[in-house]
Structure 1
């Protein structure tokens, strides 16, 4: 029989494969757009940044519902899972409406970020197509969250892998044209995403309807009128969760905008570091999802001691994996940088950044696990306040001062290293605070 550690590791491994497949969507579009034209690639960088900010934030709202269904699953209240899922559709409709409005009317955002007028037309067309790809993407995330809460992420991963096999040829065909279809360039990549997202949602709906696994959860009963009490409970978890994701994502993505003024070598070195970090982050993210599902399961079953044990197992796995990746970044920093660039200046700077990125990753892994498990205990507002204060204030604001104006006794560094140093420090403090908060929360739960 698989132990608690094995269950978490297997669940996390399955989620990880699916997450990497989803990441490959973006890689596919980047390669296709880059091969089509430089203008398409430049427009993609802007359009993708807007779409990802919207999608990831709204996805965080729905992902935060995982503890609700995992608890019902642990308490063996299966029929209540179906009613809860149906009520979550109202919250999903609100998130879809907000997301589509932003994507269909991005003019204000593009003007605020000073996107060149010549580029705006292509970006706006790209985002308009993705606006209609957003509803199936968010509803599929709801399906994914349900399966993760029930301890069955395999079907989601298989669908994500299968969709990648469809996405790649569709993006190439729609972008470059052929077989009677005109070349659409970057917009073709968006149409490919739209087709794949709706196909994934159709497969998910068919599985929910036909698979015997979901039968006892009574998902397909007639939808009830809105239960505003339950929807408010969803919102109390989802809104702080989504805002926390927004703060975390923007504190990371805004670094690139601030570093761009330091020149191409600095921007290239930062891109290498951030790309490697994004791949490594998929491991603690997957472990956090798996651990929070098990913790919520045991809390639903009324066993706080086993919930605490599951948390400890997840913490051990996360720390070991983070140490492994951090060590690899340090030991292989020059080789990893050389994979991305042949420029000696870029390689030297990227190698220096990876020394700090290793510490950043370790702290990031631990705080990610803590914040996911804290949601299992319904603790959401304090992490949001900590994120805003430390990641935006100390991390992003402090790094800007250290890079360009000087901070206390330290003169302006005029280097991307300033951003990584301050951000790593902010994440380290965040991890310590979240760890202390989680420890106190679990002790209170045991009492």
Structure 2
């Protein structure tokens, strides 16, 4: 077991640092725009929710390259990897056009929010600027998927850290103005993000061309048009993966919308709890990515028993660390909340929610690590169905029944935000167990028949 754990950890820690850098992007934007104006901060919040929905869905589709390239790398089919990457860039180009239209003309979505004119204009400007950077973001996703697939996550991490280093000074200049540039507020941080996205995309493509490790793949050695069979394979795996990401994002988004009915103090407690949960989530996510890389390579090399052991050890590692995190969080709850806010009412609202997060995080670790392992087997449709039933049905549906006490059967301690968090925890538990049982079935088929 320990050799596998060492391999997983070696790949997981760069992914973790890179993911934390991405989270820091949002924290910096929120903190700096919040000091500019309340209207710009509201526009940032609304615009970000729309952008993330578009971005997550499309990058989820492109992440299909990772298990495909990983299996080819394990099979030592370098030329085929180059062909798949070229096809992924074509797919990114098509998705960029679709995403650009959604972000540049977001009026239908903004009309649903019924925003006042000033907020509408700032949000529109924010989204239109980000639309110009979407092609670069999707191109970088192709690069990062390939780098992770072949066991080079540090090459992604370095660029993400570099982007974070540039973010603060660019934000300061463009949000608050200076050196001949007027104060732009929220749209200023969108310009900073767009410039940085193009820079790291260009650097990433340069790495594919110049770094010796990637030369056998010959990604840009020749021009090729889209090949429908390869595009079909990418979409067959990528669309369910993108949908699963959207299900996760929307389940949490709607939970926040429902909890907002219980007042600002309850919502503030929920937001703090959600932020802590998101930070904890980065560790099992990173372990899942690392495990997926090693499992897909083992499958490509026809080492099916090794793939199964790697998967089991990756899931066990993610859940084991989650138990340690959960225990520490339970003990340190008062101190963690004191670091977030001095408001005693918000602390009182968040304290019972953090106790629920102890179980929530363990279930979260199980589901995300198993989901990534299944993607290494090129399995995505059934997991997406499991996600939809669990997160939308049990999580949101059960949350409404408990939180709003529909039918009058919910006990007092399960009403309000606690009901939503308990239902969401249960949904993650169901999803995690369902995904794990399905992985066992899939992995057994490989052992028996040499294929899924």
TM-score range normalised by the length of the shorter chain: over 0.9
Q: Which residue of 2 aligns with 1:429?
A: 430
1:124-176: per-residue Cα shift (whole Å, max 9, x none)? 11000000111111110110010000001111101111111111100110010
Counterpart secondary structure, 1:100: helix
Gaps of 5+ in 2: none
Q: Which residue of 1 aligns with 2:99?
A: 99
Measured in 2, the distance between the counterparts of 1:382 and 1:439 equals 13
Structure 1, 129-138 or 117-126: larger mean CA deviation: 117-126
Cα contact 2:40–2:119 (8 A) shared by 1: no
1:187-221: per-residue Cα shift (whole Å, max 9, x none)? 10000001111110111121111111111111112
Cα contact 1:255–1:396 (8 A) shared by 2: yes
Cα contact 1:334–1:348 (8 A) shared by 2: no
Q: Which residue of 2 aligns with 1:229?
A: 229
Cα contact 2:68–2:378 (8 A) shared by 1: no
Cα contact 1:262–1:414 (8 A) shared by 2: no
Measured in 2, the distance between the counterparts of 1:408 and 1:227 equals 57
Q: Which residue of 2 aligns with 1:355?
A: 355
Q: Which residue of 1 aligns with 2:444?
A: 443
1:303-328: per-residue Cα shift (whole Å, max 9, x none)? 10110111122112101111111112
Cα deviation for residue 118 of structure 1 reads 3.4
Measured in 2, the distance between the counterparts of 1:64 and 1:277 equals 26
Q: Which residue of 2 aligns with 1:39?
A: 39
- The reply to whether residue 404 of structure 1 matches residue 404 of structure 2 is yes
Cα deviation for residue 414 of structure 1 reads 4.6
1:357-414: per-residue Cα shift (whole Å, max 9, x none)? 1211110111111111111222211111111111111111221222124257326855
Gaps of 5+ in 1: none
Measured in 1, the distance between the counterparts of 2:391 and 2:192 equals 35
Alpha carbon RMSD of aligned pairs, Å? 1.4
Measured in 1, the distance between the counterparts of 2:408 and 2:392 equals 19
Measured in 2, the distance between the counterparts of 1:116 and 1:411 equals 39
1:16-46: per-residue Cα shift (whole Å, max 9, x none)? 1111111111111111101111111111111
Measured in 2, the distance between the counterparts of 1:411 and 1:323 equals 28
Q: Which residue of 1 aligns with 2:88?
A: 88
Counterpart secondary structure, 2:35: helix
- Aligned residue pairs, count: 446
Counterpart secondary structure, 1:3: helix
Q: Which residue of 2 aligns with 1:318?
A: 318
Cα contact 1:398–1:407 (8 A) shared by 2: no
Measured in 1, the distance between the counterparts of 2:386 and 2:176 equals 47
Cα deviation for residue 257 of structure 1 reads 1.2
Measured in 2, the distance between the counterparts of 1:98 and 1:35 equals 34
Q: Which residue of 1 aligns with 2:125?
A: 125
Cα contact 1:139–1:201 (8 A) shared by 2: yes
Q: Which residue of 1 aligns with 2:78?
A: 78
